Structure 1
Amino acid sequence: MNKLPTFREDDGMTTVEYAIGTLAAAGLAALLYLVVTSDAVSAGLTALIERALSVKF
């Protein structure tokens, strides 16, 4: 009977995977920072906060 080869379990990431994951996270953080600090988003957040603070109870 032919037995299929067994492969060892990979419980963690290798150094290259850590490096690629770190670069991807840094790239995503940089993109998110650019979006959040853009003029349109900044103006929208400012308007939202001003509207929330001006609500009469």
Structure 2
Amino acid sequence: MRTFHSLQMDVRDMSFFGDESFDCVFDKGTLDAMMCADDAPHGASKMLAEVARFKT
């Protein structure tokens, strides 16, 4: 059985992880919450760029 680990970090900068580190990325409301911020387009764009970077 696989184990699940969680970390707390800024979703706009996940440089802790190398490129193509994951097979699957799951977002449960993070992007929705970010869209309420003053810098929504910029923050959301950075988040999605990070997800694209480490998804294999």
TM-score normalised to structure 2 length: 0.32
Considering only CA atoms, is the larger Rg found in Structure 1 or Structure 2? 1
Higher RCO (C-alpha under 8 Å, 6+ residues apart): 2
Structure 1 or 2: more helix by fraction: 1
